[in-house]
């Protein structure tokens, strides 16, 4: 390692870059063209994020449910509370809308008032048949429509909670998409190009406000928002970072080349996604913007170093060569730690996070290489910097800020430690206040119409997030037996008693409606058959199911009648109560469906997502520990000192604890988006630590191992770059706060805040620790000699090598 990254290695790299400029630039252009051609293979996700490994029991149970009943998230609901619905003109328009929707090949079934079917018994065939609830020839009669509405609310209890809310008068239609298209692009095209335009046309013609929701609808609009925001993030990141860059350097040329570098990096990031076959998800959509936010600080570091070198000896060629030779290993290590910070997500064993970690890590190294190659070559072709371009090195606001830092470290280290301890206690107390959120929709855009529609359905129909219970009786037609129907009814009563859950739907509801039909539609008989009635009613039910194909009634029992399904919906705002709800249901299930006689699985998208959040949280500590170990390993390789490992970790651990404490006190829950903050922030914050320690090592050799003089000399060199890059990162990550997604806003804001704390910690706490522990850390045998040739190099060393090579 010492030989590979020593002075000779980077001097060789510098010669190769500066002597092969045309070849390198041509290679970058050709590779960029190749990446652009890969864009045609870019794919967008059409499924929800699954946060749990495929072989986990939660996913195994969910797959078992899907095998028996197919995709559960295929329901779209359209509703209104407008009383004008049951007027001839509006009702006709509503009927036409539903008929048109049903005519599309993407739709398998529409259940609506206008096409509602009621059961009537056929004694000759011992079966039940379907009869239209509405006489279409009478729908122009307003009195008839009023009668229909009254009958719906009083005579059809099966549809209460499914098609109407008896208390509020809300009416809705249920649209079941073909299960084969739910996780394909066909779903997106149907919702965006067919369904939404027809709904908007209906609203315009009738003046009736419709509410639309359901998992396919939510997922489609959510994905559309993600795609729309990619351009917003890239544009905002380019604008903000370039403005900050120009404010610092006051050079159009330097700003231009930095933009060129990160734009190429963005093009490569899209190409990388396509080459790896990864879909654009809510996380991978952030990668191009991250390339900009991370790439600009790299540009700042290289250009700032070039200006510092040119200010010393006014030799452009020597300055460009020393940008590479004096900072080669330091910049490589800092980019590696950032890449490793993102790579920690690979340890989560979750496809979504693994893909995010892989593609981000690759592109961080790629943007580093682009900066290393393009920036020295670009400045070799243009005139040297003028005094105006070098003025940022001595700007008053910067010198004042660095002066305050130096005075604090020099005269008030006790105050620094006291403040650090107070902040540590603050963070630890706040951690105990953090709550865990398993909400599936909490991070969705709250200012959009479809989010307001979700809240409407939660209020009127108790949610749109399905919770499924699958009961395997292990016997053919076992689910149809009266004893098991009564067991299911007993469980449904428990579900009904839980206020967070909606009215359940199952084979029991269907059996009750059959009994009601047997007694000529009298709603007083909407109940399970008695043991005496079983012998003459159940044959009707079995014959009805056997003779009806592709009927929604069969969605609640398998073809052989052995497995039954109970579907209920949960208000997503109560996702945090999922564990308590499932525990309550499990206690009841264990009593009435004892194992191994029965096998009962509780699953559904809401349950899987909540368990996924818990899974991520359980893996957070191991992921962070992995990041700490990698960083500690890099520091140990460079410095071969356990004490230096501790000094490098402490200033970066404190900001993480502060951020966690703020989350607790501000009521920001732990969820998939906020869990990511800690790994990302640590990987980027530790860059400043390595830059400071690398420069400190160099200053020790320059200043004859005088500790204080070396520490304060470090501020003159590394301090400026640390300040510049931290400010860019702070505002760069703040770009994500422009998002309409709560999770992306939280991610951007918390990472920006953590990096700001990290900058102050590395500029104040880190040098204070170095000064306090100076005797241990300045031991030449332990600290200096092993890495004298690995990090940065003195001017004398470089002059000697240049003379030798010349």
Question: Is the Cβ–Cβ distance between 691 and 330 less than 8 Å?
Answer: yes
Report the alpha-carbon distance of residue 579 to residue 613 in Å, rounded.
Answer: 12
Residue 28 is encoded by which pair of tokens?
């970058």
- Give the mean model confidence (pLDDT) for residues 631-659: 79
Question: Is the Cβ–Cβ distance between 760 and 419 less than 8 Å?
Answer: no
Q: What DSSP character marks residue 739?
A: S
Beta bridge partners of 177: 107
Give the chain's mean pLDDT: 81
Radius of gyration of the chain (CA): 33
Q: 594: exposed, middle or buried (C-beta count within 10 Å: 0-12, 13-18, 19+)?
A: exposed
Residues 6+ apart with CB under 8 A from 582: 602, 607
Q: 162: exposed, middle or buried (C-beta count within 10 Å: 0-12, 13-18, 19+)?
A: middle
Of 3-17, 152-166, 649-663, 791-805, give the lowest mean pLDDT range: 791-805
3-state secondary structure of 55: coil
Report the alpha-carbon distance of residue 513 to residue 407 in Å, rounded.
Answer: 82
Tally DSSP H helices, then E strands, for the chain: 29, 11
Of 97-106, 379-388, 746-755, give the lowest mean pLDDT range: 379-388
388 pLDDT band, cuts 50/70/90, is: low
DSSP string, 427-460: HHHHHTT--B---SSTTS-TTSHHHHHHHHHHHH
Q: How far apart are the first and last CA of the chain?
A: 26
Residues 6+ apart with CB under 8 A from 776: 643
Give the pLDDT score at 313: 76
Of 33-42, 43-52, 556-565, give the lowest mean pLDDT range: 43-52
- Give the mean model confidence (pLDDT) for residues 242-258: 82
Residue 474 is encoded by which pair of tokens?
């292990």
Give the pLDDT score at 763: 87
Question: Is the Cβ–Cβ distance between 575 and 437 less than 8 Å?
Answer: yes
Give the pLDDT score at 788: 40
627 versus 301: which is more confidently predicted?
301
Residues 6+ apart with CB under 8 A from 549: none
To which H or E segment does residue 420 belong? helix 413-431
Query: What are 580-625's pLDDT values in tens digits?
Result: 888 888 899 999 998 888 999 888 877 777 777 777 777 766 777 7
258 versus 775: which is more confidently predicted?
258
Question: Is the Cβ–Cβ distance between 537 and 544 less than 8 Å?
Answer: no
- Give the mean model confidence (pLDDT) for residues 297-311: 81
- Give the mean model confidence (pLDDT) for residues 61-83: 84
Instruction: Give percent above pLDDT 90 in the chain.
Output: 12
Report the alpha-carbon distance of residue 367 to residue 376 in Å, rounded.
Answer: 14
3-state secondary structure of 182: coil
What order do you get walking across the sheet with 107-111 strand by strand? Answer: 107-111, 171-177, 75-80, 211-213
Question: Is the Cβ–Cβ distance between 677 and 745 less than 8 Å?
Answer: no
- Give the mean model confidence (pLDDT) for residues 136-146: 88
DSSP string, 588-647: HHHHHS-TTT-EEEEE-HHHHHHHHHHHHHHHHHHHHHHHHHHHHHHHHHHH--HHHHHH
Question: Is the Cβ–Cβ distance between 570 and 578 less than 8 Å?
Answer: yes
Pairing of strands 127-132, 117-122: antiparallel
3-state secondary structure of 278: coil
- Give the mean model confidence (pLDDT) for residues 710-727: 77
Give the pLDDT score at 787: 43
Omega of the bond prior to 590 within 30 degrees of 0, cis?
no
547 versus 160: which is more confidently predicted?
160
Pairing of strands 563-570, 465-472: antiparallel
Give the pLDDT score at 652: 84
Give the pLDDT score at 783: 46
Residues 6+ apart with CB under 8 A from 596: none
Report the alpha-carbon distance of residue 516 to residue 510 in Å, rounded.
Answer: 10
Give the pLDDT score at 785: 45
- Give the mean model confidence (pLDDT) for residues 528-545: 76
550 pLDDT band, cuts 50/70/90, is: very low
- Give the mean model confidence (pLDDT) for residues 250-258: 84
3-state secondary structure of 525: helix
- Give the mean model confidence (pLDDT) for residues 240-265: 85
49 pLDDT band, cuts 50/70/90, is: low
Q: What dihedral angle (degrees, nearest 10) is formed by the CA atoms of 549, 554, 555, 557?
A: -140
Give the pLDDT score at 390: 61
**pLDDT(438) > 70:** no
CA atoms within 13 Å, Cβ hemisphere of 779 = 12
**pLDDT(267) > 90:** yes
370 pLDDT band, cuts 50/70/90, is: very high
H helix intervals, 207-286:
215-249, 252-276
Query: What are 1-44's pLDDT values in tens digits?
Result: 444 444 577 788 888 888 898 999 999 999 999 999 998 888 87
Residues 6+ apart with CB under 8 A from 46: 183, 184, 185, 187, 188, 219, 223
* Phi-psi label, residue 673: left if phi above 0, alpha if psi -120 to 50, beta otherwise: alpha
Report the alpha-carbon distance of residue 101 to residue 105 in Å, rounded.
Answer: 9
**Residue whose C-alpha is closest to residue 274's, from 263, 262, 288:** 288
**pLDDT(439) > 70:** no
* Phi-psi label, residue 705: left if phi above 0, alpha if psi -120 to 50, beta otherwise: left
Query: What are 454-488's pLDDT values in tens digits?
Result: 888 888 887 777 888 999 998 888 888 888 889 99
């Amino acid at each position: 390692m010492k030989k590979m990254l020593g002075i000779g290695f980077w001097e060789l790299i510098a010669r190769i870059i500066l002597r092969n400029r045309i070849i390198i630039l041509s290679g970058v252009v050709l590779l960029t063209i190749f990446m652009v051609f890969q864009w045609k293979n870019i794919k967008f996700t059409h499924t929800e994020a699954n946060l749990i490994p495929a072989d986990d029991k939660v996913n195994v149970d969910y797959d078992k449910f899907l095998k028996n009943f197919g995709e559960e998230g295929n329901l779209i609901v359209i509703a209104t509370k407008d009383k004008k619905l049951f007027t001839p003109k509006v009702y006709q328009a509503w009927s036409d809308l539903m008929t048109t929707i049903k005519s599309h090949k993407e739709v398998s079934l529409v259940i609506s008032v206008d096409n509602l079917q009621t059961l009537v018994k056929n004694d000759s065939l011992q079966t039940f048949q379907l009869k239209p609830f509405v006489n279409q020839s009478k729908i122009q009669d307003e009195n008839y429509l009023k009668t229909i509405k009254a009958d719906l609310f009083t005579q059809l209890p099966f549809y209460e909670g499914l098609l109407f809310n008896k208390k509020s008068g809300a009416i809705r239609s249920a649209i079941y998409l073909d299960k084969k298209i739910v996780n394909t692009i066909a779903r997106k095209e149907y919702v965006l190009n067919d369904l939404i335009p027809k709904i908007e046309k209906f609203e315009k013609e009738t003046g009736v406000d419709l509410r639309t929701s359901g998992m396919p609808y939510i997922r489609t609009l959510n994905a559309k928002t993600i795609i729309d925001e990619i351009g917003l993030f890239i544009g905002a990141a380019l604008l903000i970072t370039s403005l900050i860059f120009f404010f610092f350097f006051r050079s159009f040329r330097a700003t231009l080349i930095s933009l060129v570098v990160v734009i190429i990096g963005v093009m490569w990031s899209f190409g990388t996604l396509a080459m790896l076959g990864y879909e654009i998800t809510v996380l991978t959509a952030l990668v191009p913007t991250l390339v900009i936010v991370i790439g600009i600080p790299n540009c700042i570091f290289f250009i700032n170093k070039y200006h510092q070198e040119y200010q010393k000896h006014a030799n452009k060629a020597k300055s460009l060569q020393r940008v590479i030779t004096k900072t080669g290993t330091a910049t490589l290590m800092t980019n590696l730690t950032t890449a490793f910070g993102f790579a920690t997500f690979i340890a989560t064993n979750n496809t979504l996070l693994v893909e995010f970690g892989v593609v981000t890590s690759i592109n961080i190294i790629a943007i580093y290489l682009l900066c290393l190659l393009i920036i020295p070559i670009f400045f070799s072709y243009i005139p040297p910097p003028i005094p105006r371009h070098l003025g940022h090195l001595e700007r008053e606001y910067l010198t004042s800020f660095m002066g305050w830092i130096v005075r604090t470290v020099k005269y008030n280290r006790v105050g620094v430690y006291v403040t650090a301890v107070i902040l540590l206690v603050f963070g630890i107390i706040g951690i105990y206040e953090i709550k865990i959120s398993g909400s599936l929709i909490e991070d969705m855009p709250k200012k959009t119409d479809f989010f307001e529609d979700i809240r409407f359905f939660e209020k009127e129909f108790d949610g749109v997030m399905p919770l499924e219970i699958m009961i395997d009786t292990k016997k053919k037609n076992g689910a149809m037996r009266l004893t098991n129907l009564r067991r299911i009814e007993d469980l449904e009563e428990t579900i009904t008693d839980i206020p967070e859950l909606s009215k359940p739907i199952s084979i029991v509801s269907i059996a009750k409606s059959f009994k009601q039909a047997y007694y000529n539609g009298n709603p007083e008989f909407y109940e399970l058959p008695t043991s005496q009635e079983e012998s003459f009613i159940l044959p009707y039910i079995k014959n009805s199911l056997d003779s009806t194909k592709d009927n929604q009634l069969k969605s609640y029992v398998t073809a052989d009648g052995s497995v039954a399904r109970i579907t209920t919906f949960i208000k997503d705002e109560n996702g945090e109560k999922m564990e308590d709800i499932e525990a309550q249901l499990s206690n009841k299930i264990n009593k009435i469906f004892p194992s191994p006689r029965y096998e009962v699985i509780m699953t559904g998208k809401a349950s899987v997502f909540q368990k996924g959040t818990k899974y991520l949280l359980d893996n957070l500590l191991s992921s962070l520990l992995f990041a700490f170990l990698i960083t500690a390993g890099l520091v140990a390789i460079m410095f071969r000192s356990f004490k230096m490992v501790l000094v490098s970790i402490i200033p970066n651990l404190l900001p993480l604890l502060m951020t966690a404490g703020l989350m607790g006190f501000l009521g920001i829950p732990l969820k998939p988006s906020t869990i990511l903050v800690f790994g990302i922030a640590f990987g980027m914050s530790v860059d400043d630590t390595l830059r400071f320690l690398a420069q400190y090592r160099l200053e020790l050799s320059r200043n004859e191992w005088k500790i204080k003089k070396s520490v304060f000399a470090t501020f003159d060199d590394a301090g400026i770059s640390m300040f510049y890059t931290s400010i860019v990162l702070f505002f760069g990550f703040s770009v994500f706060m422009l998002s309409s997604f709560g999770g992306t806003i939280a991610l951007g804001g918390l990472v920006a805040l953590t990096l700001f704390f990290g900058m102050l910690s590395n500029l104040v706490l880190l040098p204070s620790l170095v000064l306090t522990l100076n005797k241990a850390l300045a031991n030449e045998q332990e600290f200096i000699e092993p890495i004298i040739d690995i990090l940065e190099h003195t001017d004398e060393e470089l002059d000697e090598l240049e003379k030798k090579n010349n």
